[in-house]
A and B are shown apart, each in its own frame.
Chain A
Amino acid sequence: EPEVTQTPSHQVTQMGQEVILRCVPISNHLYFYWYRQILGQKVEFLVSFYNNEISEKSEIFDDQFSVERPDGSNFTLKIRSTKLEDSAMYFCASKKTGGANYGYTFGSGTRLTVV
């Protein structure tokens, strides 16, 4: 069964450093998403991406965050200057179409620890 692949599985970074989280969505999917989950809390929407541009972003997704699809397969989330409160699991997801009659496929996540 096709999978969404995320790398690395765990990243430790110093506060203030830039990190890039990588995702390979399912190949024929057109819609891409990033979510995060702080330990013990809800899964939170960050951003959706379609046709090489951001469709929607949440209040969490401030100027420190950016997304990119640099080639035909990767989808990345960059945090420019990490803060302690950015420590969380980050999940990438993809979906074949934009309608609601289709499920999202999530990756297994990247655990980001900011020290």
Chain B
Amino acid sequence: DAKTTQPNSMESNEEEPVHLPCNHSTISGTDYIHWYRQLPSQGPEYVIHGLTSNVNNRMASLAIAEDRKSSTLILHRATLRDAAVYYCIPLTGANNLFFGTGTRLTVIP
């Protein structure tokens, strides 16, 4: 399984963009890059995933480096509701989802 490195914690001011980095230098060519988040006292929540190209959805954008060894989850305008632990998880079809320790995002009003 590919290993990931994420900052333990980050802070952002409300209504400002947030860039959450993830290094996954051992990622294989078939691994998709998944991002999930866990709000306090809730279950994990799917955010976005991609393979090679940058991806956008209603929640966030995912920017994937050309060499795929890193990616960045972009929240365009952080709200208080975005305060959560964010997990970057490389995933192949043969594997199950395994969570690391993630990045705890604090949003400052």
Contact = CB atoms under 8 A, between A and B. Distances in A.
Given A43-B38, A100-B92, A104-B97, A91 B43 contact: yes
Interface SS of chain B: loop
A103 B46 contact: yes
A33 B95 CA distance: 12
Contacts, number: 55
A13 interface: no
B104 interface: no
Given A43-B38, A48-B96, A101-B51, A107 B43 contact: yes
Given A103-B49, A104-B46, A42 B32 contact: no
Interface in B65-109: 91-93, 95-101
Given A45-B96, A91-B43, A101-B51, 18 more contacts: A33-B96, A42-B99, A44-B99, A45-B97, A48-B96, A56-B96, A91-B44, A93-B43, A93-B97, A99-B93, A100-B91, A101-B49, A103-B46, A106-B44, A106-B45, A106-B46, A109-B42, A109-B43
Interface of A: 33, 35, 42-45, 48, 56, 89, 91, 93, 98-101, 103-109
